[in-house]
Structure 1
Amino acid sequence: MIVLCVVLALVAALGNAAASVLQRRAAATDLSTSAWGRAAGRFGFVRLRVWRWGAGLLALSGVAQALALAAGPLAVVQPVMTTELLFTLVLAAAVFRWPPGAGTWAAFLAMALGLAAFLLLAGPGGGMDSVPPGRWLVSAVPAVVVSAALIFVGMRQKGSARAAVLGTVTAIGFSFTAALIKDTLGLLPDGLGEVISAWQLYTAAAVGLGSFLLLQATLRAGSLAASQPALTLGDSLLSVILGVSLFDESISLGWRVLPELASLGLIAFACVHLSRSPLVSGKEAQRW
């Protein structure tokens, strides 16, 4: 099941990356030569086939992520989802015909190696399919308090500092959304009616929507290089913690803690470098 979980998470990450690149390609298309494009203004690209393909892939990636969460541990799915950055780099290079430099490829390999090393060292596995209700209160209350405090602090910052702080809050939201989805899917053996009536389903939708809106504020606040490490590592680390505290998933610690931290440091370094690449940040569209 772990292999299936990883494969589905990789498919979801690939879908997210492909959707992002296709929709950026649509947004970069010159529509001024068509009558409907001039009439639709800056949002005319939504009628392009390439944009609709991107939207469809985004929906499919959401399904793949949900299936991955149903098939395996939260502490595996969310870290594997960080490969979206790697897929974005490769796909954007092909679509926009902008070859990455040697430094970007080095960051690509560093992130892949760091992620593989962390998963092999931590060895997350096991766990329950659903969460006892009392555990949600123990985890959610501190998360809400910390998120509110970070939003308060972040809105008083500017530029990169604001982007980093808001990125951390967004990561908290995304990790809790994934945990809520996994908990909801764990109710499927009790019947579809139990799932539809479960509070987890509607809470996941609300938290997911709030996190998406907060992501937009994060991206407007500062550079991707400032927010992406917080988004990537925050989501992954908190998901590992939630997997252990909510679902009783297991990870290996002891002597492995130091190399695990080194692996996370390698991922963080690679995230910063990749986020500065025009192929990941979306600045390659300026060439079209």
Structure 2
Amino acid sequence: MHSPPLAIALGLASALSIAWGTVIRHQLSGVLPDGTGTLRGVLGVVARPLWWAGLGLAMLGYGLQIGALAFGSLLLVQPLLVMKLMFTLPLSARVNGRRISRTETAWATVLSIAVAVLIILGRPLPGAARPPLAIWLPALAVGAVVFLLMYRGADRLRRGPKAVLLGLATGLLYGYVAVLSKAVVDVGVREGALALAASWELWLLIALALVGTGVQQASFNAGALRHSLPAMTCGEPIIAFALGYVVLGERFQVSGWNWAALAVALAAMVVATVQLSRRGV
């Protein structure tokens, strides 16, 4: 069933839930000493009940994202998830006891307009329900190589740069998780529960989601949220957009100069995301 309004509502609810979980889990990273910004450092926070509360909110957000993908294309839902930064901004400000500045409000407005342009002007079309494995394999191979290079490289860096690189690695993983989520939803809706349980897409999705959770916490541990959050928040939609086009065959319904407007909106979304991440957390 294709219902863009319902997909938009679920996507925004997902963004809010993920934002809460992000703020909670990042607050716990302050208890760790320097040098724990890798997966080894995750063991320092997973024993705390508050971390599991944050993870629970993140999982609720992911469940809402799955619901959104059942009613809309990846190219429709993914820009909405960038709005989690809009929600992270006031939540983080409240937790840290500060006020939101006019500059932050201005960038939040830019982000909202950019997302609206991508959705309204782009009018995304759904793609293939279940692309063949031959299309998936090159994309998965490239992603695996890039992730390993990022993760190995992060171990050689200090806290700030390490947080950025681990944030990029997290964005890469979650970009693949987003595309696999859409594929899994389509398999479940079209072919049923048994076909879903037997699908390789489901099990790869679970594996990447688990790895992504660990790498994300490692990026939080490695430095301030202003280092890691812009990288992961920008990286995820860019990877998801690219894979949505290449693997799923989704398309924006634009032509001529509208492509230029769409490109400007995408660039504005990335810039606003970076600015809000650096100023707001």
Normalised by the size of structure 1, how large is the TM-score? Answer: 0.79
The worse-fitting range, judged by mean Cα deviation, of 261-270 and 80-89 is 261-270
Distance between the aligned counterparts of 1:144 and 1:44, measured in 2?
29
Contact 1:175 1:239 survives alignment (8 Å): yes
Matching of residues 273-284 of structure 1 within 5 Å: 273-277=275-279, 280-281=280-281
Partner residue in 1 for 2:199: 198
Contact 1:76 1:119 survives alignment (8 Å): yes
Pairwise CA RMSD of aligned residues?
2.9
Partner residue in 2 for 1:151: 151
| 1:257 positional shift | 3.9
Partner residue in 2 for 1:123: 123
| 1:212 positional shift | 1.3
Partner residue in 2 for 1:68: 68
Contact 2:73 2:126 survives alignment (8 Å): yes
Query: Identity of counterpart residues, as a percentage?
Result: 28
SS at 2:82 equivalent: helix
Contact 1:10 1:83 survives alignment (8 Å): yes
Partner residue in 2 for 1:87: 87
Structure 2: tracts of 5 or more residues without a match: 31-44
Change (3 A) 1:260 1:161: farther
Count residues in correspondence.
Answer: 264
Partner residue in 1 for 2:14: 12
Contact 1:27 1:45 survives alignment (8 Å): no
Which letter maps to 2:258?
R
What does the per-residue CA deviation read over 1:226-256, in whole Å, with 9 as the maximum and x for residues that have no partner? 3322212211111111111222111236433
Partner residue in 1 for 2:218: 217
What does the per-residue CA deviation read over 1:128-160, in whole Å, with 9 as the maximum and x for residues that have no partner? 232222211021111112222233333333343
Normalised by the size of structure 2, how large is the TM-score? Answer: 0.81
Contact 1:130 1:182 survives alignment (8 Å): no
Distance between the aligned counterparts of 1:242 and 1:124, measured in 2?
14
Structure 1: tracts of 5 or more residues without a match: 29-41, 282-288
Matching of residues 179-198 of structure 1 within 5 Å: 179-188=179-188, 189-198=190-199
Distance between the aligned counterparts of 1:176 and 1:78, measured in 2?
12
Partner residue in 1 for 2:5: 3
Max radius of gyration: which structure?
1
Distance between the aligned counterparts of 2:165 and 2:52, measured in 1?
32
Change (3 A) 1:22 1:144: closer
Distance between the aligned counterparts of 1:54 and 1:209, measured in 2?
15
Change (3 A) 1:190 1:209: same
Which letter maps to 1:5?
A
What does the per-residue CA deviation read over 1:165-218, in whole Å, with 9 as the maximum and x for residues that have no partner? 222221111011122122122122322111112121111111111111111222
Asked if 1:108 corresponds to 2:108, the answer is: yes
Distance between the aligned counterparts of 2:228 and 2:23, measured in 1?
19
Distance between the aligned counterparts of 1:60 and 1:73, measured in 2?
20
Partner residue in 2 for 1:172: 172
